[in-house]
Amino acid sequence: MNRILLVLLLLSAIIYGCGKSGVDPVVQYQNQKAIDDKIISDYIAANAGLNAKRIDTTGVWYVIKDGEQGSGNVLYTSSTQVTVGYTAKILTSGTVVAQTDKFHPTYILGGVIKGWQLGIPQIKPGGNVRLLVPSRYAYGPYPQDSLKLPANSVMDFQIQLYNVTN
């Protein structure tokens, strides 16, 4: 009898431990979305001359200075290769977490963060775009230790597009 009670007690502890704990992931996502969107909208409001445009309802904003659109006809797909130079900063602190110098890496568009997938097609080869990317379209709740990038970082990317290959 004692063994049965012990087994039932252990089983109930296991079941209780497997139950929901903490914040619902959907609520957590919505809360972070609101925080990120406020950070970006406050930044844009504080920098009135920025002339930023939002990409649909994504929360990703872009800025293209006059004459920096680039040229050519480009069809972007998820398998398009893009050769870029870039600087990546945390928007709230301005801390540079990554940048290219003389080396310009080539990426497959479908393999980069969603903010880049949405923002790079706004320009053509030779173009230059600044992207303000909420954490949900950057690295999300995952810290990037190699970049010393905290979780849920809102990002500011300056991207020069050198080449596009389909």
Are the C-beta atoms of residues 131 and 159 closer than 8 Å to each other?
Answer: yes
- List pLDDT tens digits, range 112-148: 999 999 999 999 999 999 999 999 999 999 999 999 9
Tokens encoding 157 = 């990317």
Cα distance between residue 164 and residue 125, in whole Å: 6
Instruction: Give the CATH number for residue 108.
Output: 3.10.50.40
Total domains, the chain: 1
Tell whether 143 is covered by a domain.
yes
Containing structural domain, residue 92:
24-165
Tell whether 159 is covered by a domain.
yes
Give the pTM. 0.84
Tell whether 5 is covered by a domain.
no
Q: Which regions of the chain does DSSP assign to beta strands (E)?
A: 53-54, 61-63, 81-90, 96-99, 106-108, 128-133, 155-165
Tell whether 10 is covered by a domain.
no
Closest by CA to 130, choosing from 153, 100, 160, 110, is 160
Residue 20 confidence class, pLDDT cut points 50, 70, 90: low
Tell whether 16 is covered by a domain.
no
Q: Which of 9-18, 57-66, 150-159 is least confident?
A: 9-18
At 3 the pLDDT is 58
